[in-house]
Every structure is written in C-alpha cells, then in structure tokens.
Structure 1
Amino acid sequence: MTAIDFTGVFPAMCTPFDDDDRIDFDTLQEDAQRLEAAGVDGLVPVGSTGESATLSHDEHVRVVEAVIEAVDDVPVIAGTGSNNTREALELSERAAAAGADGLLLISPYYNKPEQRGLVEHFRTIADAVDLPQIVYNVPSRTGQNVEPDTAVELASHENITGYKAASGDLGQIGEIAERTVDEDFAVLSGDDALTVPAISVGATGTISVAANVEPERTCAMVGAALDGDYDRARDLHHELGPLFRHLFVETNPIPVKEAMEIRGYGPARLRSPLTRLSEEHVGEMERILEDLAEERPVLDAAEGDR
C-alpha cells in the first residue's frame, strides 16, 4: 500500500450532468484540473457531494477514471461506500483497479448496524483492498454514529488510515484524534464550518464542499490553522462563514451546484430526486459569491506575503 498524507484540503467533488442527465465528463475533468491548479491536496469524487446515490456502478468507475486521467500530481480518493458490504467491496475493488489512490467509505446507512457490525464491514473491505481507506461518519445521512471506540479499533488496521468527521460533535472529533495520536491515522473535518475548530483539537485537514467554490481561500484557511496561525485562520473562516452556512441551506449538493453554475464552473443540474436550489435562496448565494470575489485581491496579496 502506498501511503497518502491526509493533510490539507480535499474537495468533495460534484458530478456535472448535461441536459440529457448524462455525466458531463469534459466539465468534470476541467473541474479536477481547476482544483489541482488551485493547490488542493487531493480530490474526492463520487462521495455524497458527487451524488453517488444516483450513479450506477459503471458510472462510479468512469468518474473515478476520468478524474485520475485529468490530474497530474494529487491523489484521488474514490467514494466507494454502501450499506451493503458486498456492494461496497465490489465498488472498492473496481476503484482500486481503475487506479484510485485511496477510498472514502461512508458507514452503512438505513439498515443501522450495531458497532460490531460497523467494525466487521470496514475490516472486510480493508482486508481485501490494499489502499488507504477513510471511514466516513455522517450520522445525519446514515442514522448511525461511528462511536469513538469503534473508530479507535478500526485505526489499528494498517489500511484504515483516516476518519472523516461529519457528526458535528467537536468533542468526539477531539477524542478520536487524541486516542489515535500514536497511529498512522488522520482525522479530517467533514463539516466546513468546523474545520478550524477541528484542526485545533487534532484534525489534519478537511474533505470540503466549500473548496469546490473557494479552493484557494479554503487552502489558505487550513494552511494557516495547521501552521498555528489562528488569527489568520479565524479571519478566513469568518470570510467564508456565509458561504459555509448557505451551502447547507438545502440538502448538499443542491446549493454547491448552484454556486458552481454562478461561478461558471459547472451546471447546476442534479439527478432526481434532488432539485435545483429554491429561488428564494439563489439571490443570497449570488450576493455571497460576489462579496467573496470582491475580497479576492486582498487574499491574493496576503498569500503573496506568505
């Protein structure tokens, strides 16, 4: 297994669709190249933000292949989770065969396994696929929390090298970071609004939705926090705060796809049952993005001084 340094910013990529509801691979690859050029530390296609729930298995693999083909020097961590262990294993094996550098595995949703079932699920995949793997905990989508004891137990497996924390529980994030400090194990924020606080208690970066829209500013924020420059990190967190909040005013990735279209990065189309951002929220998104664009020269100057 080739190790990945899970430090920094890893955008949870969107999957663009054309007017016929097909994947727009040209736009997908352009987006991957834009993000790499912006300085991100890796890319995460076909996760929740990539609408993995409405992609076929073949589409999953084709998206992963397209992103790998598009970039030069950043790792590609493929979302391959499922609530069916056999299905997650198959997706993971196919992503590995396609050349993925690592895997992001959401905890099983809907069937709500007990903690011992979660351990068995993740270990089954880790035993079979020799790639770095991130356990993704997002109880709001799965209905089940990956408890700290479970995360610590999983961290002992050589292929389970990360934990994406999207529980909103900063105490739990800090506990997992504390108890795995001697392991080759990274805790990553899965909630943009908690990234700076999470780093302060031991996280090493973020798998970020906001980085799709503001990659440079997100990288600057995370870099400052990792350097211990919390004044700078806090300032950038506050600049991005309105975007963080508005990206979750409706179900992700509805708002971020609208933001991507406003910025000219990709279409806002989503696959059913997801729908376009409500008109009542579009104007506020436009205003937030305009404000951030106006602050761009300030960010550029500050980054030039670093």
Structure 2
Amino acid sequence: MTALDLSGVFPAMCTPFDDDERIDFETLQTDAQRLEAAGVDGLVPVGSTGESATLTHDEHVQVVEAVIEAVDDVPVIAGTGSNNTREALELSEHAADAGADGLLLISPYYNKPEQRGLVEHYRTIADAVDLPQIVYNVPSRTGRNIEPETAVELASHENITGFKAASGDLGQIGEIAERTVDEEFAVLSGDDALTVPIISVGGTGTISVAANIEPERTCAMVGAALDGHYEQARELHHELGPLFRELFVETNPIPVKEAMEIRGYGPARMRLPLTRLAEEYRDDLEAVLADLEDESVAVASADAEGDR
C-alpha cells in the first residue's frame, strides 16, 4: 500500500448535473482543477456531498476517473461506502481499479449494525482492497455511532489509516486521537465548525464542505492550526463561521450547491429526493458570500499597498 498523507484540507466535492440530470463532467473537471489550484491537499468525490446515494455504480466510477484525469498532483479519495458490505467492497474495488489514491467509507446506515458488525464490515473491505481507507462516522445520517473502542480496534489494520469525525462529540473525537497517537492513523474533521477544535486535540485536517466555496481561507485556517498559530486560526474560523452555518441550514449538499451556483462554480441542480434550497435561505447565503468576497478584496488591496 502506498502511504497517503492525510493532513490538510480535502474538499468533499459536489457532483454537478445538467438540465437532464446527467453528470456534467466538464464542470466537474473544471471544479477539480480550481480546487487544486487553490492549494487543497486532496479531493474527495462521490461522498455524501457528491450525492453518492443517487449515483449508479457506473457513475461512481466515471466521476472518480474524471476527477483523477483532471488533476495533476493531489490525491483523490473516493467515497465508496454503503450499508451493504458486498456493495461497499464492489465500489471500493472499482475505485481502486480506476486509480483512486484512497477510500472514504461511511459506516453502514439504516440497518444499524452492532459494533462487532462495524469492525467486520471495515475489516472485510480493508483485507480485500490494498488502499488507504478512512472510516467515516456521521451518526446523524447513519443512526449508529462508531464508538472510540471500535475506532481504536480498526486503527490497528494497516489499510485503515484515517477516521472522519462528524459525530459532534469533541470528547469522543479527542479520545480517538489520543488512543491512536502511536498508530499511522489520522483523525479528520467532518464538521467545518469543529475543524479548529478537532485539530487542537490531535486532528490532522478536514474533509470539508466549506472548502468547495472558500478553499484558500480553509487551507489558511487549517494550516495555521496545524502550525500551532491558534490566534490566526481562530480569526479565520470566525471569518468563515457565518458560511459554516449557512451551509447547513438544510441538508447537505443543498446549500453548498446553491453557493456553488451563486459563485459560478457549478449548477445548484439536485437529483430527487433532494431539492433546491428554500427561497427563505437564499438571501442570507448570498449576503454571507458577498461579505467574504468583500473581505478578500480588502485583504488583496492591503497586500498590494504593502508591496509598494
């Protein structure tokens, strides 16, 4: 297995659709190149933000292949999770064949396995696919929490090299980081609003929704926190705080796709059962995006003045 550096910022990419709800591969590849140019450390297509639940298996592979083809130097970590272990294994094998550098596997949802079932699920895939794999814990979507003891047990497998933490429980996340400090195991934030706190207790970065919209600021925030410059990280966290909140006023990825359209990065179109952002939230989202653009212009102007 080739080592994969899981420190930094990894945008959870959106999947753009055209008027006929087909994947818009040209926009997808342009977006991947935009994010790479902004300095992100890797890309994560076909996860929850990429509407993986509405993609066919063939579409999963096509999206992964398109993103790999579009970028030059950043790793591509494919979302391949399912509540069916055989299906997750098949998706993982297809992603590996397509050239993915790593895998992100959401824990099985709806059928609510016991902790021993979670261990067997992840080990089955890790035994069969020789790629770095990230366990993804998001109980609000799956109905089942991955307990710290389970995460620690999984970290002993050589192919299970990361944990995406979206439980909202900082104590639990810190415990996992603490108990795996001697393993080749990264704890990544899966919640933009908790990225800086998670890094402060041992996290290595973030698989981020907000980085689709503000990749440079997100990279600056994470870089400052990883370097121990917490005053700077806190300032950037506060700048981005309104965006973090607006991106979760409705189910992800509804708000982020609306933000992508407002910024001109891609269409807001969704596949059912997800729908466009409710009109009552759009003005606030537009205002937050405008404020961030104004701040960027002000900073750029101040930097230009300083160079004279």
8 Å contact 1:78–1:100 — kept in the other structure? yes
Alignment deviations for residues 59-86 of structure 1 (CA, whole Å, 9 cap, x no partner) = 0000000000000000000000000000
**TM-score using structure 1 length:** 0.98
Amino acid at match of 2:174: G
Alignment deviations for residues 44-100 of structure 1 (CA, whole Å, 9 cap, x no partner) = 000000000000000000000000000000000000000000000000000000000
C-alpha distance in structure 1 between counterparts of 2:151 and 2:63, whole Å: 29
C-alpha distance in structure 2 between counterparts of 1:303 and 1:30, whole Å: 28
Is the counterpart of residue 165 in structure 1 residue 165 in structure 2?
Answer: yes
Is the counterpart of residue 254 in structure 1 residue 220 in structure 2?
Answer: no
Alignment deviations for residues 192-244 of structure 1 (CA, whole Å, 9 cap, x no partner) = 00000000000000000000000000000000000111110000000000000
Q: Which residues in structure 2 correspond to 1:205-224 (within 5 Å)?
A: 205-224=205-224
1:75 corresponding residue in structure 2: 75
Amino acid at match of 1:232: Q
1:236 corresponding residue in structure 2: 236
Tell me the CA shift for residue 151 of structure 1. Answer: 0.2
8 Å contact 1:257–1:267 — kept in the other structure? yes
Alignment deviations for residues 154-206 of structure 1 (CA, whole Å, 9 cap, x no partner) = 00000000000000000011000000000000000000000000000000000
1:273 corresponding residue in structure 2: 273
Tell me the CA shift for residue 303 of structure 1. Answer: 8.8
C-alpha distance in structure 1 between counterparts of 2:302 and 2:105, whole Å: 36
C-alpha distance in structure 2 between counterparts of 1:223 and 1:158, whole Å: 27
C-alpha distance in structure 2 between counterparts of 1:42 and 1:274, whole Å: 26
Structure 2 counterpart SS, 1:295: helix
2:9 corresponding residue in structure 1: 9
State the 4+ residue runs in structure 1 displaced beyond 6 angstroms. 301-305
8 Å contact 1:224–1:233 — kept in the other structure? yes
Alignment deviations for residues 272-293 of structure 1 (CA, whole Å, 9 cap, x no partner) = 0000000000000000000000
1:188 corresponding residue in structure 2: 188
Structure 2 counterpart SS, 1:44: coil
C-alpha distance in structure 1 between counterparts of 2:57 and 2:236, whole Å: 38
Change (3 A) 1:26 1:90: same
Residue-pair matches, total: 305
2:119 corresponding residue in structure 1: 119
C-alpha distance in structure 2 between counterparts of 1:36 and 1:121, whole Å: 32
C-alpha distance in structure 1 between counterparts of 2:264 and 2:176, whole Å: 39
Structure 2 counterpart SS, 1:121: helix
Tell me the CA shift for residue 301 of structure 1. Answer: 7.3
C-alpha distance in structure 2 between counterparts of 1:302 and 1:218, whole Å: 20
8 Å contact 1:177–1:201 — kept in the other structure? yes
Amino acid at match of 2:216: E
C-alpha distance in structure 1 between counterparts of 2:163 and 2:46, whole Å: 17
2:87 corresponding residue in structure 1: 87
C-alpha distance in structure 2 between counterparts of 1:302 and 1:219, whole Å: 20
1:56 corresponding residue in structure 2: 56
C-alpha distance in structure 1 between counterparts of 2:184 and 2:21, whole Å: 41
Structure 2 counterpart SS, 1:207: strand
2:225 corresponding residue in structure 1: 225
C-alpha distance in structure 2 between counterparts of 1:303 and 1:16, whole Å: 35
Structure 1 counterpart SS, 2:274: coil
**Cα RMSD for the two superposed structures:** 1.2
Amino acid at match of 2:206: T
Tell me the CA shift for residue 27 of structure 1. Answer: 0.1
Change (3 A) 1:253 1:302: farther
Amino acid at match of 1:291: D
Structure 2 counterpart SS, 1:104: strand
Tell me the CA shift for residue 249 of structure 1. Answer: 0.1
Amino acid at match of 2:18: D
Change (3 A) 1:73 1:299: farther
C-alpha distance in structure 2 between counterparts of 1:303 and 1:217, whole Å: 15
Amino acid at match of 2:250: E
1:144 corresponding residue in structure 2: 144
8 Å contact 1:165–1:189 — kept in the other structure? yes
Tell me the CA shift for residue 299 of structure 1. Answer: 4.7
| Percent sequence identity over aligned pairs | 85
C-alpha distance in structure 1 between counterparts of 2:218 and 2:3, whole Å: 24
Structure 1's unaligned 5+ residue stretches are: none
C-alpha distance in structure 2 between counterparts of 1:121 and 1:189, whole Å: 22
Tell me the CA shift for residue 297 of structure 1. Answer: 3.3
